[in-house]
């Protein structure tokens, strides 16, 4: 598995397995198969309500903890400093893996400024090896940078060929975060057939004897993104891993990067309802 290096010096596998929208039953069915197929990076969140199942599936997989990279995320209800430490501990307890390789603030709302101190304490206590932000617009990243003694090392945002985030990446580099790692959600367009049916990906798939999904994943790897496509299909699970034996040319990368840009989801300035109503992560099978 190809890896990037985080600012803490540790490797982060560039291709992983995401479990958003998966029930605990689906996680217990699919995750062991993913680990057996060679996935070593798993992305979950307290708001996915499947941390317990993720931890159980990992422990039962027989994989060594140190060979896996596990991420979880906190929703805004957990951010106020007094709440953040206990909620980090609660996630660790649900996962039952001792520590997480990466802990993220999931959504850019609420008291993320005071909570960041608890995230730093989690790093110092060995509970989280790295910390970062998901879906944070630049002005909210700046608020964190003003108080941070440990800077966010990972930014998880929507990235796919229709929203390549070149401007966001450049803006963070100009803030002294050139070593930051970017993780892309909706890497394959969240199941939108339109992205994979894009004629350019059909053409490149034929040329490289790969599928359009593999071409898109190859683009991500060459862009330096970390991605963890979700799949419940054993065939897609293997297909998505089989992207290390071909390369897109510089001209092909440029053609992908010339596609018109539009995000699937625009992160609102104020918290949307689905953020405000999420709670009680203890209710997990």
Ligand X SMILES: NC(=O)c1ccc[n+]([C@@H]2O[C@H](COP(=O)([O-])OP(=O)(O)OC[C@H]3O[C@@H](n4cnc5c(N)ncnc54)[C@H](OP(=O)(O)O)[C@@H]3O)[C@@H](O)[C@H]2O)c1
The residues of the shown chain that bind ligand X, judged by CB under 6 A, are 18-20, 43, 106, 134-135, 156, 185-191, 196, 213, 228-233, 236, 239-240
Nearer Cβ to ligand X (65/232) = 232
CB of 217 to ligand X, least distance (A): 8
Radius of gyration of the chain (CA): 18
The alpha helices in 129-231, defined as continuous H runs, are 138-147, 166-173, 193-196, 199-208, 212-223
Nearer Cβ to ligand X (146/245) = 245
| 126 vs 173: CA distance, rounded Å | 27
Nearer Cβ to ligand X (117/236) = 236
Phi, psi of 238 (to 5 degrees): -75, -40
CB of 195 to ligand X, least distance (A): 8
- By Cβ distance, which residue is nearest to ligand X? 18
CB of 165 to ligand X, least distance (A): 13
DSSP 155: E
The alpha helices in 49-198, defined as continuous H runs, are 51-61, 81-95, 112-124, 138-147, 166-173, 193-196
DSSP 226: E
CB of 257 to ligand X, least distance (A): 18
What order do you get walking across the sheet with 154-158 strand by strand?
17-18, 41-43, 69-74, 102-105, 131-134, 154-158, 181-185, 225-227
Nearer Cβ to ligand X (78/230) = 230
Q: Is 265 a catalytic residue?
A: no
Burial of 181 (0-12, 13-18, 19+ CB in 10 A): buried
Question: Residue 44 has which token pair?
Answer: 């979950």
In the set 17, 39, 48, 162, the catalytic residue is 48
Burial of 82 (0-12, 13-18, 19+ CB in 10 A): exposed
CB of 22 to ligand X, least distance (A): 7
Nearer Cβ to ligand X (54/118) = 54
| 164 vs 167: CA distance, rounded Å | 8
- Enzyme catalytic residues: 48
């Amino acid at each position: 598995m190809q890896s990037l290096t985080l600012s803490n010096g540790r490797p982060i596998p560039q291709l992983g397995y995401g479990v958003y929208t998966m029930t605990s039953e689906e996680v217990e069915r699919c995750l062991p198969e993913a680990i057996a197929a060679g996935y070593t990076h798993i992305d979950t969140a307290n708001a996915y309500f499947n941390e317990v199942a993720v931890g159980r599936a990992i422990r039962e997989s027989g994989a060594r903890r140190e060979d896996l990279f596990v991420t979880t995320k906190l929703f805004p209800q957990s951010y106020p400093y007094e709440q953040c430490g206990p909620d980090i501990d609660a996630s660790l307890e649900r996962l039952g893996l001792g520590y997480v390789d990466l802990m993220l603030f999931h959504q850019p709302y609420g008291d993320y400024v005071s909570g960041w101190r608890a995230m730093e304490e989690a790093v110092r206590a060995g509970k989280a090896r790295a910390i970062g932000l998901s879906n944070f617009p630049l002005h909210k990243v700046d608020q964190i940078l003003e108080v941070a003694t440990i800077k966010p090392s990972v930014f998880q945002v929507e990235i796919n060929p229709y929203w390549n985030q070149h401007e966001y990446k450049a803006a963070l580099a100009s803030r002294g975060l050139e070593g930051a790692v970017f993780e892309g959600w909706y890497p394959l367009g969240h199941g939108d057939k339109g992205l994979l049916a894009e004629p350019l990906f059909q053409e490149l798939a034929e040329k490289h004897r790969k599928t359009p999904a593999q071409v898109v994943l190859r683009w991500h790897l060459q862009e330096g993104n970390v991605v963890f496509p979700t799949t419940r299909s054993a065939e897609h699970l293997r297909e998505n891993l089989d992207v290390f034996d071909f390369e897109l040319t510089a001209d092909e990368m440029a053609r992908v990067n010339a596609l018109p840009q539009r995000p699937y989801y625009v992160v609102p300035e104020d918290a949307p309802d689905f953020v405000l109503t999420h709670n009680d992560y203890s209710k997990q099978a």
